[in-house]
Amino acid sequence: MSSRLCDGPRGRRVVIELVRDLLPEEMRRGLFELAYRADVAAGAAVTRLTFRRVGDDGGQTPSVPSPEQLADAIRALGPLRPDGEELVESVRQSVDTARYWQAADGDDLVAADPVVTSALADVGAGLARRPDAAWWQRDRSIEQWAVEFDPDGDGAPFDPAPGGVQRWRERTEAGESRARIDRPADPTAGWSGDWWSHPWGAPHTTGVLSSGLPAGIPYVEDGFGWTRAVAIPVRGAGRTYEIHGAADWAHLCRTYPLDVTNSRRHDWYRVTGRGGRWLLPDWSRVADDWDAVHLSGWGYLTAATREIVVDAEYSSVIGGWGPDETYWLTGKVREIDEPRVHWDAEERGDPWRRVDGDGLSRRPAR
C-alpha cells in the first residue's frame, strides 16, 4: 500500500469516529465545539441546542481546544483496537457522511487539519492490518451481489445493461452542453447538478463482509435511509480494472479523458476548494479495454471525497461510489441460479439482519 489510511477524508473519518468515544469527556465536548465552529466557518446553517441547569448563570463560553491539544489527546489513546462492530460502524459513518453538493462537515474539516491528521494517522496505523479489515485491500471477489433497496416482493429482474455506458456518455455530453450555456464560470456560484463520477446506468455490485452481508447494503453514499434490501447473487467475467488508490483513478482519467468542467465545477469546488478544470474517465472508452472497474475499500477510504490531481491542468473526484463496489461496463455479468437474500434493519444505522423464508429476521450483521 503506497498510501496511508488518513491520506483521504473517508479514512480520516473512520479514525475520528473510533476516537470520539474514547476521548476524555472534556475533550469530546471540545471536539464537538471545534466541529461546530468549522461548520459555521464553512457557511453551514447549524442549529445548536443547549441545556442549562437551574442556577447556571449561562455566561460561560464553551471550552475550545486548539488542534494541538486535540492531537495530544488523540495520541494519548495509543493504537486503536476496536471490536469488529465498532470498526464496521465507523466505516458506515464515514460513507454516510460523504457529500459532494456542499462543503465537508465539521468533523471532516477538523480531521483535515494537518496536526490532527498526523495524530489520527498515528493511532489508526494498525487498522488496515486487522483480519476484519482484509476486505479493504482485496481485488474484485468472485462472489458478487447486486442490491435492490425497498424491493417489491423478491425484487426486479437483474438487468446487465450492456449499453449503459453509451447512454451514460450521451447524457454526460448533453449535461456538459447545457451547463456550458446555463451555468456561470465562477466556481463559487450557487449552482449544483451532477456530482457523481460513476457510470450511472451501468449495473453495480459488491462483495461481502465477513458477516455475509453484502458491502453494498450498509455502505451507500447519499442513501435514503432504507431499511429493507434484497441481495441478488451474480457472477461476472472479463477484465477488471482495479482502483486501489488515487493514482489508479488518475491513470484512468489520463488514458480515457472526458472534460466535465462545466457540469462539475460548482459541486467539486465545494468539496475540494479547487477552481480549475475537471476530468472523468470516459466510461464508454474504458469499456473498449475493460469489462468492469472495481473500487476497493482501500481505494475508497484513501481517495474518495478529495481532489485527485491528473496533470498540470486537470483534477478529478471519486464521488458516488461505495467501498468494494464494481461497475460492469460491457454487460458481462449475470444473475446466477442461487436464492436471493432479503435483509432488513429496524432503523437507519441499525444492524442489518438476514430475513429467512418465513419472513423473520434471524441474526444481525454488520
Tell me the per-residue pLDDT of 61-92, one tens digit each, with 9 for 90 and over: 568 999 999 999 999 999 999 999 999 999 99
Per-residue pLDDT band for 3 (boundaries 50, 70, 90) equals confident
The predicted pLDDT at position 364 comes to 56
CA distances from 281 to 58, 108, 199, 201, 259 (A): 55, 27, 9, 15, 9
Question: CB under 8 Å to 166, separation ≥6 — which residues?
Answer: 284
Given a cut of 60, whether residue 58 has pLDDT beyond it is no
The answer to whether the predicted template modeling score (pTM) of the entire model surpasses 0.85 is: yes
Q: What is the mean pLDDT of residues 4-21?
A: 97
Average pLDDT over the chain, rounded to whole? 92
Percent of the chain at pLDDT > 90 equals 86
User: What is residue 364's DSSP assignment?
Assistant: E
The predicted pLDDT at position 63 comes to 80
The rounded distance, in Å, linking the Cα atoms of 74 and 237 is 45
Quick: pLDDT tens for 119-166: 999 999 999 999 999 999 999 999 999 999 999 999 999 999 999 999
Given a cut of 90, whether residue 357 has pLDDT beyond it is no
Q: What is the mean pLDDT of residues 89-112?
A: 95
Given a cut of 70, whether residue 102 has pLDDT beyond it is yes
Q: Round to the nearest angstrom and report the end-to-end CA distance of the chain.
A: 25
Question: CB under 8 Å to 83, separation ≥6 — which residues?
Answer: none
Residue 203 grid cell:
449495473
Given a cut of 70, whether residue 179 has pLDDT beyond it is yes
The rounded distance, in Å, linking the Cα atoms of 349 and 366 is 10
DSSP 11-31: HHHHHHHHHHTTS-HHHHHHH
The predicted pLDDT at position 50 comes to 46
Q: What is the mean pLDDT of residues 31-36?
A: 95
Which comes out higher in pLDDT, residue 357 or 303? Answer: 303
The predicted pLDDT at position 359 comes to 54
Where do we find the cell 463482509?
209
User: What is residue 304's DSSP assignment?
Assistant: B
Angle (nearest 5°) at CA 65 between 59 and 68 = 165
Nearest to 214 by CA among 343, 359, 358, 82: 343
Q: What is the mean pLDDT of residues 2-18?
A: 94
Quick: pLDDT tens for 226-256: 999 999 999 999 999 999 999 999 999 999 9
